[in-house]
């Protein structure tokens, strides 16, 4: 379901993904999402959240819960690990401890359904302003355009042959680090410590899984290899000429 709201004060529409776990909350949720110029996509199945966020650009994710139970908190934590957009939890009354837990696992805001919709709208606009400022500060970071891959750190978007490649937050960070060091071997230890923020273990397949996902997404648009595996060490992002001339001792897997 898609709601298209319009307000002359906000001519540029924001795309909002609204997950409503409980249909009984519909009447309470609607005033919040109709209070600004937003295009709102409403879904009822939690498994659709990650799918849609990986396929389309959204400016915020609103999660409607009857209560913040363990399952709800786990969902917030999972989505925060995968995506960097603002996540707002909305619930029908809850104690302070549960709201604190929601913040701890990754929610940018927790709003009670008996609060003021206009206040909620202003809070979300404030989150967007802070995000825009952060992106502006990041704009000093170098835009990378190597081997047909265009990566813009300011807006955290990646393109290949003018087609956008949708990456998770961690996948983007891995690709950015590899491109910044194009032509060099970046070790799994460094990737793990820098991107996954935990100590590397030879038994862990976390980095390998992320690399595999990046490869598949790039391969859906570009046919040639963009980086190679140095077995037991790490990965190399290839310059255009390196894709043809790099030593055969490196694996493409």
Ranges of each domain in the chain: 2-138, 144-245
Strand, helix or coil at 72?
helix
Return mean pLDDT, the chain. 83
127-138 pLDDT, tens digit each: 988 877 666 565
Token readout for 24 is 């009984």
Give the pLDDT confidence score for residue 244 in this predicted structure.
44
The mean pLDDT of 38-59, rounded to a whole number, is: 91
CATH architecture of 144-245: Orthogonal Bundle (1.10)
Of the candidate CATH numbers 3.40.50.300, 3.90.980.10, 3.40.50.2300, 3.30.70.100, the domain formed by 2-138 belongs to 3.40.50.2300
The mean pLDDT of 125-153, rounded to a whole number, is: 79
Counting other chains too, the contacts that 65-68 makes at CB distance below 8 Å and 24 or more residues apart are 65/21, 65/22, 65/89, 65/90, 65/91, 65/92, 66/21, 66/22, 66/24, 66/25, 66/91, 66/92, 67/91, 67/92, 67/93, 67/94, 67/98, 68/94, 68/98, 68/99, 68/101, 68/102, 68/110
Strands of the sheet containing 144-146, edge to edge, are 144-146, 149-152, 157-160, 163-165
155-209 pLDDT, tens digit each: 889 999 889 999 999 999 999 999 988 988 888 888 887 787 667 777 777 888 9
More confident residue, 52 or 227: 52
Report whether pLDDT(219) > 70: yes
Give the pLDDT confidence score for residue 247 in this predicted structure.
46
């Amino acid at each position: 379901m898609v709601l298209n709201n319009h307000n002359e004060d906000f001519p540029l529409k924001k795309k909002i993904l609204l997950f409503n776990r409980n249909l009984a909350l519909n009447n309470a949720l609607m005033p919040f999402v109709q209070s600004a110029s937003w295009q709102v996509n409403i879904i009822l199945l939690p498994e659709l959240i990650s799918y849609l966020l990986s396929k389309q650009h959204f400016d915020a994710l609103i999660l409607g819960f009857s209560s913040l139970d363990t399952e709800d908190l786990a969902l917030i934590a999972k989505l925060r690990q995968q995506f960097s957009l603002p996540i707002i939890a909305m619930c029908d009354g809850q104690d302070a401890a549960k709201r604190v837990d929601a913040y701890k696992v990754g929610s940018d805001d927790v709003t009670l359904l008996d609060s003021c919709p206009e206040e909620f709208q202003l809070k979300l606009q404030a989150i967007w302003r802070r995000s825009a400022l952060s992106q502006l500060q990041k704009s000093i970071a170098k835009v990378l355009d190597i081997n047909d891959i265009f990566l813009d750190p300011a807006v955290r978007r990646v393109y290949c042959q003018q087609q956008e490649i949708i990456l998770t937050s961690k996948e983007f960070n891995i690709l950015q680090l590899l491109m910044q060091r194009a032509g060099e071997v970046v070790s799994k230890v460094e990737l793990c410590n820098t991107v996954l923020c935990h100590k590397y273990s030879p038994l862990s397949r976390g980095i390998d899984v992320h690399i595999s996902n990046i490869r598949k997404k790039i391969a859906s648009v570009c046919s040639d290899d963009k980086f190679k595996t140095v077995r037991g060490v790490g990965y190399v992002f290839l310059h255009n000429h390196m894709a043809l001339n790099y030593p055969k001792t490196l694996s493409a897997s």
